Amino acid sequence: MDNNYQFKIIVVGGVGVGKTCCIQRFCNNLYNPEYKVTIGADYIHSSVHVRQGGKDIKVAVNFWDIGGQNKIYKNQTMDKSLQNGYLTLDLTRAYYSHSFGCIVVGDLSDMTNFLADIKKWKRDVDEKVRFPNTNEQEKIPIILMINKVDIARNNYTSEIRTELSDLDFDGIFCTSALTGEGLKEAIEFLTLIMIEKFQIVKQKYPQPSSDNIIDPERTQVKKSWCCW
């Protein structure tokens, strides 16, 4: 089995949508019903097994679980916008750097914020992130996990499907952190399209040999629509 890739995947979404629970379920088969806000970003390492071109590939993946809220700092010397005496510091751009793929998670049980949150995070990633080593030209693959279908499947109406289809996701998957539904399929799908994207990029944007070049094919790194 080949083990030639290591990718960083960012996981984004609003507060309480289940980002951490989804990743913990996939990586460790654990589910913790006690909600805990992610401050800043956490990361967890795992392996994803996929098959491409008749070959089994084991991919090392670092999931970066990005908190749904930006930190707020009181520091008037910082060059940021001042709001009520506090300065909001958008840390996402730093957390997003060197990402090869993205998972947006939406909470199907919260229809008040469901579409707005998904649109906000999709737009944020589209604006800030480019596939590594493409001279800022290529967007990264992005999939949507519609989470908590175990308790709110009936909310996934044809109207919601139509609106989501206009957002240009590479894939949309119904998932449940509680039961594990859809998680394996979603992450394997994203992993495959990251590999395919990397292979295309490598031909389209040849890079000189350098320690500053991010190469997910190094074995040792130093520094779909399934629910329609």
Instruction: Confirm whether 214 is domain-assigned.
Output: no
Residue 22, judged by CB atoms within 10 A of its CB (0-12, 13-18, 19+), counts as buried
pLDDT at 43: 84
Q: What is the CATH number of the domain that holds 8?
A: 3.40.50.300
Does any domain span residue 84? yes
Structural domain span for residue 165:
2-204
Domain membership flag for residue 127: yes
Domain membership of residue 220 (yes or no) is no
> How far is it, in rounded angstroms, from Cα 194 to Cα 58?
13
Q: Is residue 152 part of a domain?
A: yes
CA distance 134 to 146: 30
Number of domains in the chain: 1
Q: Specify the pLDDT at position 19.
A: 94
Could you read off the pLDDT tens digit of each residue along the chain, which spans 228 residues?
555 899 999 999 998 999 999 999 999 999 887 656 555 568 899 999 999 989 999 999 999 998 765 544 444 444 444 444 433 446 677 889 999 999 999 999 999 999 999 999 999 999 999 999 999 999 999 999 999 999 999 999 999 999 999 999 999 999 999 999 999 999 999 999 999 999 999 999 987 655 556 778 764 433 344 554
User: Is 219 inside a domain boundary?
Assistant: no
Q: Establish if 224 belongs to a structural domain.
A: no
Question: Is residue 11 one of the residues assigned to a domain?
Answer: yes
**Quick check: 140 and 96 in contact, CB under 8 A?**
no
